[in-house]
């Protein structure tokens, strides 16, 4: 088989395109392939498909293709242009690539799979591409996927902030479909706009289809749902793990204060116990058992705060609102009469948001449904060693977690 025929097959070239010449350079480990077409061919206008004869050629362009014999392989061609009576002078579609691409579609499809399954560093090594080329490929793939994405109904949305670098300003808002387990959008900041802008991109039917939105008790997202969705307040579902986090912080505040007071008088039994109190009893790591069992039944305020926090977990074990409500009342009475200021304050915050906590009994959703997403976002963040800008972070998240159809179109 002559090398031109071989490359005809390797490139998957079809009529009217054929390989004119192949250059193999062993020292640079590179194969260059020139392709051509016969004279007198009629070309379809890229806009309307109307056949027209050749007008001229654009200057030669080069596309990276899949390696052949482990050599980087490049395809060269002068793209033909037609003069359509309706659309003027246009470059025709080339079967091996998408318009404006620097790679053949076969290379791009392969590169997307490699980038999906590897860190950027590893993918760059496998593919022999630069950082910028890796970004370019991801960016194009996501743009393609978003353009193809069909509007669909999302019953349960999850919304959460994520730090994207140092400082207060560096946050993004991550909006997920909790059932599909996909990231629907990543927006700037963690303000009301960050969520409202997304809701406003949805069609009326899509907004109506949202049954509940899981979130932390934060005003920005609350206002966004109240403004962005009809009957929005009733669709808010405060995430139980965020609520327990608030209680955890209250316990820690009690511990810190008590520890300082005791340490002033002498030795404090609370020294070095900060992490002991963060866990529920079942999840307490064994290294903390000794400390914990020595302290839990003491008359320490911290032990009491911990018991109140842990008791609240039972709220979500009730099957119905009817049973949950009396429990809540008993718990709130206990917490608000505890004489532990941080606990009282946290209990008040929770009470103020009770409307969205009890939503759980109608829509049992939590942001933990997207826990897999969170850990993957964490990995994306780490393996890229941070991101030069939030736009790239968004692209990477949608590339890996957007559930998008990323492959280049085939002709
Ligand atoms: Zn045309």
Q: What is the DSSP string of 22-69?
A: EEEETTTTEEEEEEE--TT-EEE-TTT--EEEEEEEPPPEEEEEEEET
The pLDDT value given to residue 5: 87
CA 322 to ligand 1 center in whole angstroms = 67
CA 40 to ligand 1 center in whole angstroms = 19
Query: How would residue 295 be classed by pLDDT, with cut points 50, 70 and 90?
Result: confident
CA 109 to ligand 1 center in whole angstroms = 29
CA 47 to ligand 1 center in whole angstroms = 5
CA 49 to ligand 1 center in whole angstroms = 6
CA 54 to ligand 1 center in whole angstroms = 13
Query: Looking at the predicted structure, is the pLDDT value of residue 387 above 70?
Result: no
The pLDDT value given to residue 411: 52
Taking the domains of the chain in order of start, what are their residue ranges?
Answer: 3-96, 106-239+366-411, 243-358
Query: Looking at the predicted structure, is the pLDDT value of residue 287 above 80?
Result: yes
CA 390 to ligand 1 center in whole angstroms = 39
CA 409 to ligand 1 center in whole angstroms = 21
Contacts of 336 (CB under 8 A, 6+ apart): 344, 347, 348
Taking CA atoms, 279 is separated from 119, 284, 305, in Å, by 33, 5, 13
Question: What is the DSSP annotation of 246-287?
Answer: HHHHHHHHHHHHHHHHHHHHS--TTTT-GGGGGS-GGG--GG
Query: How would residue 276 be classed by pLDDT, with cut points 50, 70 and 90?
Result: confident
Distance (Å, whole) CA 270 – CA 56: 83
Average pLDDT, integer, range 57-68: 95
Contacts of 281 (CB under 8 A, 6+ apart): 310
CA 48 to ligand 1 center in whole angstroms = 4
CA 81 to ligand 1 center in whole angstroms = 12
Return the DSSP state at 11: T
CA 64 to ligand 1 center in whole angstroms = 29
Tens-place pLDDT, residues 182-221:
999 999 999 999 999 999 999 999 999 999 999 999 999 9
The pLDDT value given to residue 1: 53
Q: How many CB atoms lie within 10 A of CB 48?
A: 12
Query: Looking at the predicted structure, is the pLDDT value of residue 73 above 90?
Result: yes
The pLDDT value given to residue 326: 95
Query: Looking at the predicted structure, is the pLDDT value of residue 226 above 60?
Result: yes
The pLDDT value given to residue 144: 95
> Angle at CA 348, nearest 5°, toward 347 and 351?
85
CA 182 to ligand 1 center in whole angstroms = 39
CA 15 to ligand 1 center in whole angstroms = 21
First to last CA, the chain: 26
**R_g of the chain computed on alpha carbons:** 30
Average pLDDT, integer, range 154-164: 92
**Is residue 395 packed enough to be buried (19+ CB in 10 Å), middle (13-18) or exposed (0-12)?**
buried
Query: How would residue 385 be classed by pLDDT, with cut points 50, 70 and 90?
Result: low
The pLDDT value given to residue 225: 98
> Residues 56, 77: contact at Cβ < 8 Å?
no
Taking CA atoms, 77 is separated from 14, 95, 99, in Å, by 14, 12, 14
Average pLDDT, integer, range 281-303: 86
Query: How would residue 168 be classed by pLDDT, with cut points 50, 70 and 90?
Result: low
Query: How would residue 3 be classed by pLDDT, with cut points 50, 70 and 90?
Result: confident
Average pLDDT, integer, range 308-332: 94
CATH 1.10.10 fits 106-239+366-411, yes or no: no
Q: In what order do the strands lie in the sheet with 51-57?
A: 42-44, 51-57, 80-84, 88-91
């Amino acid at each position: 088989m002559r090398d031109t025929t071989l490359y005809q097959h390797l490139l998957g070239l079809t009529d009217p395109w054929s390989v004119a010449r192949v250059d193999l350079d062993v020292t640079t480990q590179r194969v260059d392939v020139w392709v051509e077409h016969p004279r007198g061919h009629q070309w379809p206008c890229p806009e309307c498909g109307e056949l027209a004869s050749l007008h001229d050629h654009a200057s030669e362009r080069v596309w990276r293709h899949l390696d052949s014999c482990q050599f980087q392989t490049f395809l060269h061609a002068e793209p033909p242009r037609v003069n359509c009576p309706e659309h003027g002078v246009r470059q025709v579609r080339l079967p091996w690539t998408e318009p404006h691409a620097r790679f053949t579609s076969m290379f791009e499809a392969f590169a997307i799979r490699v980038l999906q399954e590897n860190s950027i560093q590893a993918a760059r090594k496998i593919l022999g591409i630069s950082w910028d080329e890796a970004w370019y490929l991801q960016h194009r793939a996501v743009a393609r996927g978003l353009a193809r994405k069909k509007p669909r109904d999302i019953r349960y949305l999850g919304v959460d902030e994520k730090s994207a670098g140092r400082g207060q300003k560096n946050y993004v808002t991550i909006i997920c479909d909790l059932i599909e387990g996909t990231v629907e959008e990543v927006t700037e900041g963690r303000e009301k706009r960050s969520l409202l802008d997304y809701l406003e991109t949805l069609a009326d039917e899509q907004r109506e289809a949202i049954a509940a939105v899981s979130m932390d008790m934060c005003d920005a997202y609350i206002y966004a749902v109240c403004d962005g969705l009809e009957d929005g307040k009733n669709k808010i579902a405060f995430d139980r793990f965020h609520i327990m986090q608030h209680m955890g912080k209250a316990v820690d505040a009690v511990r810190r204060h008590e520890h300082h007071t005791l340490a002033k008088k002498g030795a404090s039994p609370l020294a070095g116990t900060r992490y002991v109190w963060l866990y529920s009893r079942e999840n307490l790591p064994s290294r903390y058992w000794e400390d914990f069992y020595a302290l839990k039944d003491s008359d320490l305020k911290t032990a009491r705060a911990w018991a109140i926090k842990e008791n609240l977990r039972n709220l979500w074990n009730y099957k119905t609102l009817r049973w949950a409500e009396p429990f809540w009342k008993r718990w709130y009475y206990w917490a608000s009469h505890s004489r532990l200021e941080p606990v009282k304050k946290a209990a008040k915050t929770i009470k103020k948001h009770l409307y969205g906590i009890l939503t759980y009994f109608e829509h049992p959703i939590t942001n933990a449904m997207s826990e897999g997403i969170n850990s993957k976002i964490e990995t994306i963040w780490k393996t890229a060693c941070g991101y030069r800008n939030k736009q790239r972070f968004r692209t990477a998240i949608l590339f890996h977690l957007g559930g998008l159809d990323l492959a280049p179109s085939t002709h």
